[in-house]
Structure 1
Amino acid sequence: MAFWEDPSVKALSSGMDALWQKQQVISHNIANVETPGYKAKHVEFKEVLKKTEDGGEPVKEYRTVVSVDESTQARADGNNVQVESEELELWKTYVEYSTLTSRMSKKFSSLRYVINNAGK
């Protein structure tokens, strides 16, 4: 099996892509905090991640859904971005992404070890 076909590598890579998309959406929300009528957007994929961590079937690919937040109370200008909440979500996303990159790095280290010690 090729390294990139390993289910855990696919899941890590897909998870990193999903978190990158989430970071982009959060950054866009923060950039539009003063834009009248702007509605915050959110990326959802946690349910799939949680199911996998709880012993469900391995995830080959994370699917994300970007939705517009219609539930949060808007200010007088129609904007509903809450910058404090967005910054907190950005921090959580950073921590989650760092965790996945660390796990991917360990996968590469294992591969490097096998390559360097093959035939010894």
Structure 2
Amino acid sequence: MAISFDKAFGLHPEALMIRDRRAQVLSENIANADTPGYKARDIDFGQAMKLAQARQSGSVGRTHEKHFAISSQVGGDTLFRNPDQADTGDGNTVDIHHERNAFMKNSMEYQASLAFLTARISGMKKAITGGGQ
């Protein structure tokens, strides 16, 4: 009997990739906090997960051969964030406190997803090897 990793892991690998990309975007925001004209960006995690779920279920597809294929890569969904603070005069929209908080929350959620996948893999390994030693 074959193991279906898609069924075993669900959307958690996709969630890790999205969280990883979001960490990159947030760290770019933090690094450019003092860059004049830099616009803060973010990834809408909920929307990215909906797209991942649609890709996994196969409901997103091309209806015509000349239509553009939907990319399976994360990153095309980065958006500019509406600034929480008034313009300081240099056009930079990064709020360093917001970015740090978002980065920390994203990191904790990444760790939670990683712990879930680790537990799932451990359980599968025990099921395959017998687990009782």
TM-score normalised according to structure 2 size: 0.71
What secondary structure, in the 3-state scheme, does the structure 2 residue paired with 1:26 have?
helix
Runs of 4 or more above 6 Å deviation: 61-64
- Percent identical pairs in the alignment equals 23
Partner of 1:5: 6
- CA drift of 1:5 comes to 2.3
Kindly provide the amino acid, as one letter, of the partner of residue 29 in structure 2. N
Gaps of 5+ in 1: 52-58
Letter in 1 for 2:37: G
Q: Distance in 1 between matches of 2:6 and 2:11?
A: 10
- Residue 3 of structure 1 and its aligned partner are, at CA, apart by 4.0
Gaps of 5+ in 2: 58-71
Counterpart mapping for 1:28-107 below 5 A = 28-47=28-47, 59=53, 60=56, 65-69=77-81, 71-72=82-83, 73-107=86-120
Distance 2:38 2:6 in 1: 41
What amino acid maps onto 1:5 in structure 2?
D
Q: CA RMSD in A?
A: 2.5
Question: Whole-Å Cα distance in 2 between the matches of residues 15 and 79 of structure 1?
Answer: 29
Q: Size of the alignment, in residue pairs?
A: 109
Q: Residues 23-67 of structure 1: CA distance to partner in whole angstroms, max 9, x if unpaired?
A: 000000000011100000010022565x8xxxxxxx338966210
Distance 2:78 2:13 in 1: 19
What are the Cα deviations for residues 65-85 of structure 1, in whole angstroms up to 9, with x where unaligned? 21012x313321110100000
1:54: which partner in 2? none
Alpha-carbon distance, 1:116 to partner: 1.2
